[in-house]
Amino acid sequence: FPEGGSHATFSPDGKLLALAGRNNGVKVWDIALHREIGMLPTTDTVMGLAFSPDGRDLVVSYFNPGQVQVWDVAHLLELGVQD
């Protein structure tokens, strides 16, 4: 993100980087290939990011207390939102 990121996390195997921009969504990067593999839209200000232990899912937490969004990273598919 040209304006900088607010939060970042690596997948457990170190192959992916998720970077939350300020009001721009979450970009997922393939570190080995040095390329963006996708952009996940966000619903609010991102307060945290975490990959699942197997690296398949990404959990995004928001400023809105208690709201989290879960993504299937390989398919860039939203699995659900918890309020």
Which has more confidence, 81 or 34?
34
Residues 74, 22: Cα–Cα separation, whole Å: 23
How sure is the predictor about 10, in pLDDT bands with cuts at 50, 70 and 90? very high
Reported pTM:
0.84
Contact 82, 66 (CB under 8 A): yes
Residues 53, 67: Cα–Cα separation, whole Å: 20
Q: How confident is the model at residue 1, as a pLDDT?
A: 47
Lowest mean pLDDT among 28-32, 34-38, 63-67: 63-67
Give every CB contact of residue 31 below 8 A, 6+ residues apart in sequence: 10, 14, 15, 16, 17
